[in-house]
Amino acid sequence: METSLSSSLKAWQIAEKCKRDHNQIDPMINFFIDRNVRYKDVLNTHLYFDVQDIYQQVEKLKSQAYEHLPLAFVPVLIKDNICTENIPTTCASKILEDYRPPYSATVIERLKQAGAIIFGKLNCDEFAMGSSNENSAYGPVLNPWDKEYVPGGSSGGSAAAVSAGLCPIALGSDTGGSIRQPASYCGILGYKPSYGLVSRFGLIAFASSLDQIGPMTTDALDAALLSDVIMGHDPKDSTSLKSGSPSWFQTLKELKESEINLKGTTIGVVSEFFAAGIDSEVNACLQENIKKLSELGATIKNVSLKSLKNSISTYYVIATAEASANLARYDGIRFGFRADSHEGKKSLKEMYANTRTQGFGDEVKRRIFLGTYVLSSGYKDAYYTKATRMRQVIKDDFLAAFSAVDFLVGPTAPTTAFKLGEKNKDPVSMYLNDIYTIAVNLAGLPALSLPCGINSLGLPIGMQFIGKPGDDFQILKGAYVYEQATGWHEHHKPKL
């Protein structure tokens, strides 16, 4: 029945429906296939979509016992920097065009074990480097709310896909805000877990000590469900925390009416987040929402994070340094693009240089260059070594703030989405966009962005919750409470 099929269906509802009645499976899958086919080219969200592959997965799952699988038949779209065995994984780069990994990321294995259908791979900024999805070698992604605007980045494809209802849940990755900022620009929920909660095995690395995979969904319940599936220690990842898989979905679902509020919670408002640079509408919207949080029972406190002003430089030194090493493996020898194939006359050095120069886009080259610079002898102590100490200072600052509050609130980005081409001439101003999200990655904290308003141009505004290390559930619950109280996320969808 068409009316029961809706792009507003949550992942948990889809799983329930399909498990309860197997006749729902095909119509459900076909509904989402149609939706993907209809919008993916318009928005340029996809880098890979194969209907036959989808049907194969569905048929395989049908032949198994799936009654206990939490994500049975749920369509999930995956950012294209996460390895999927035998399926092209390009990181939106020319250097990995047609690259088909011989293995799948741990998160993909876990999704499959939970019954999810991997619906396709999503466009993003090249190697996750960017804040607008304009750095893709395969063209920019467009914001479903207004196609003249960027969806944000680097998980722009994931944010746009969920926002446009192409799938209920998607995976993104976040190194300096790449899940949260596009979630904010596209009006969805984007959650970056505490560092180490989700395995990075199979996530194509940008900055190893900052990267995390996380859920991009329409609400907190789905984020919780997805977390339950993908989280838990992975012995293949030395940075993976020793914890087991959570059961947050159940915990949220079982909350009593009387528990769905913020009573007893103290929320910190970071004064530095509301300093110069914030758009006035975003500011006004956030102030209103902080009031709302107070109405829901929270105690609001002002906090100051003095070292926050160093977060951009600290981040860019560390992130580019790690990236320059992580991207050294792209040399055209064992996989991927190689320049001068079949020419035979060029030397090895020429082959390396041509491959990397032709294969990488400008932003990637810029960051590799910067990272090489800050690590090179003569500069390392001045930049990299100092940045690692400053990072700890920033972390300690947050921990000190958390002694007085349960979590922090602020805007996710200083503005709403900007127009395509508006900012990509000047990389430095692009970097300044990350000011509210970056410090979180430096400190390894959990954080999420949830939609909380629309500006006069009809573009979404996002509110960010930042939690204590390992206290992810607190902010998910906070988001859930807000959603239940306001229903904001239900009533505001882009008109496609």
Which active-site residues does the annotation give? 79, 154, 178
Assess 88 for contact with other proteins (CB under 8 A).
no
Q: Which of 60, 89, 90 is nearest to 72 (CA)?
A: 60
Q: Which stretch binds other proteins (CB under 8 A): 82-90, 268-276, 284-292, 446-454?
A: 82-90
Given 52, 258, 280, 347, the residue binding other proteins (CB under 8 A): 347
Q: Indicate the residue among 360 and 465 with the shorter CB distance to other proteins.
A: 360
Which are the contacts of 450, defined by CB distance < 8 A and separation ≥ 6? 183, 189, 220, 462, 463, 465, 479, 482, 483, 489
Which are the contacts of 348, defined by CB distance < 8 A and separation ≥ 6? none
The 8-class DSSP code of residue 264 comes to T
HSE of 409, CA atoms in CB hemisphere, 13 A: 32
Q: Indicate the residue among 221 and 394 with the shorter CB distance to other proteins.
A: 394
Q: Indicate the residue among 55 and 373 with the shorter CB distance to other proteins.
A: 373
Q: Indicate the residue among 57 and 104 with the shorter CB distance to other proteins.
A: 104
Assess 235 for contact with other proteins (CB under 8 A).
yes
Q: Indicate the residue among 249 and 398 with the shorter CB distance to other proteins.
A: 398
Least distance from C-beta 96 to other proteins, angstroms? 7
Q: Find the binding residues for other proteins in span 141-200 (CB under 8 A).
A: 200
Q: Would the CA dihedral through 277, 278, 281, 283 be positive or negative?
A: negative
Q: Is 251 helix (H, G, I), strand (E, B) or coil?
A: helix
Least distance from C-beta 322 to other proteins, angstroms? 6
Q: How many residues bind other proteins (CB under 8 A)?
A: 87
Q: Which of 398, 456, 51 is nearest to 282 (CA)?
A: 456
Judge whether 319 and 210 are in contact, CB under 8 Å. yes
CA distances from 291 to 31, 284, 413, 477 (A): 40, 11, 19, 18
Assess 406 for contact with other proteins (CB under 8 A).
no
Give the N- to C-terminal CA distance of the chain in Å, as an integer.
22
Question: Which residues make beta-bridge pairs with 269?
Answer: 302, 409
Strand pairing of 447-454 and 460-467? antiparallel
Given 30, 271, 354, 484, the residue binding other proteins (CB under 8 A): 354
Assess 336 for contact with other proteins (CB under 8 A).
yes
Q: Indicate the residue among 106 and 218 with the shorter CB distance to other proteins.
A: 106
Given 335, 422, 455, 473, the residue binding other proteins (CB under 8 A): 335
Q: Find the binding residues for other proteins in span 418-447 (CB under 8 A).
A: 427-428, 431
Least distance from C-beta 86 to other proteins, angstroms? 10
Least distance from C-beta 6 to other proteins, angstroms? 35
Assess 490 for contact with other proteins (CB under 8 A).
no
Per-residue binding letters, 365-404, with other proteins (x by CB under 8 A):
xx-xxx-xxxxxx--x-xxx-xxxxxxxx-----------
The CA-CA-CA angle for residues 99, 74, 54, to 5°, reads 45
Cα-trace Rg, the chain: 22
How many whole angstroms separate alpha carbon 126 and alpha carbon 117? Answer: 25
Q: Which stretch binds other proteins (CB under 8 A): 182-190, 231-239, 261-269, 290-298?
A: 231-239
How many whole angstroms separate alpha carbon 483 and alpha carbon 490? Answer: 8
Given 229, 321, 438, 439, the residue binding other proteins (CB under 8 A): 321
Least distance from C-beta 419 to other proteins, angstroms? 22
Given 36, 57, 218, 314, the residue binding other proteins (CB under 8 A): 314
Given 277, 329, 399, 458, the residue binding other proteins (CB under 8 A): 329
How many whole angstroms separate alpha carbon 210 and alpha carbon 203? Answer: 12
Strand pairing of 447-454 and 299-303? unpaired
Q: Burial level of 185, CB count in 10 A (0-12/13-18/19+)? A: buried
Q: Which stretch binds other proteins (CB under 8 A): 7-15, 139-147, 219-227, 340-348?
A: 340-348
Given 31, 73, 201, 273, the residue binding other proteins (CB under 8 A): 201
Given 209, 271, 283, 484, the residue binding other proteins (CB under 8 A): 209
Q: Which of 310, 314, 309 is nearest to 384 (CA)?
A: 314
Q: Find the binding residues for other proteins in span 105-124 (CB under 8 A).
A: 105
Assess 284 for contact with other proteins (CB under 8 A).
no
